[in-house]
Amino acid sequence: MSPIGVESRQTLSHAYRMIAFVWIGSLITMSPIGVVSRLHYMENTGRGKYKCRESWPSDMCFEAFTLFLDVVLLIVPLIIMSLTYTMIALTLKNNLRTYSHGVNVGAGLLT
């Protein structure tokens, strides 16, 4: 058994599901950019060049989407990583405490 006990969830089908979840979530999260993007003519170039820019219906929509991206891409991962590392540290601390009670650390021999 692994130290954290997750080997039963580490299967190839689970990996495929997680990859699909990440791709679908990414496409859904960024789909508004595809909806609001417009091709704009660049007048100062003299060559008929165009550039693709976001054209939001209102500043409030732009700010709401930016805030959503900040939360989803920065805050949520930070919280998940903090909780995960806290759980790992507590598990290691408990395992170390359990191990040290059954071992004579000074002599290196089991008691």
First to last CA, the chain: 24
What's the confidence (pLDDT) of residue 10? 78
Please check whether residue 95 is in contact with residue 5, taking contact to mean a CB–CB distance below 8 angstroms: no
What's the confidence (pLDDT) of residue 1? 45
Point out the residues of the chain with pLDDT beneath 70: 1-9, 101-111
Q: How far apart are CA 107 and CA 111, in angstroms?
A: 10
What's the confidence (pLDDT) of residue 111? 47
In angstroms, how far is CA 62 from the centroid of its own chain? 22
What is the phi/psi pair of residue 68, to 5°?
Answer: -60, -45
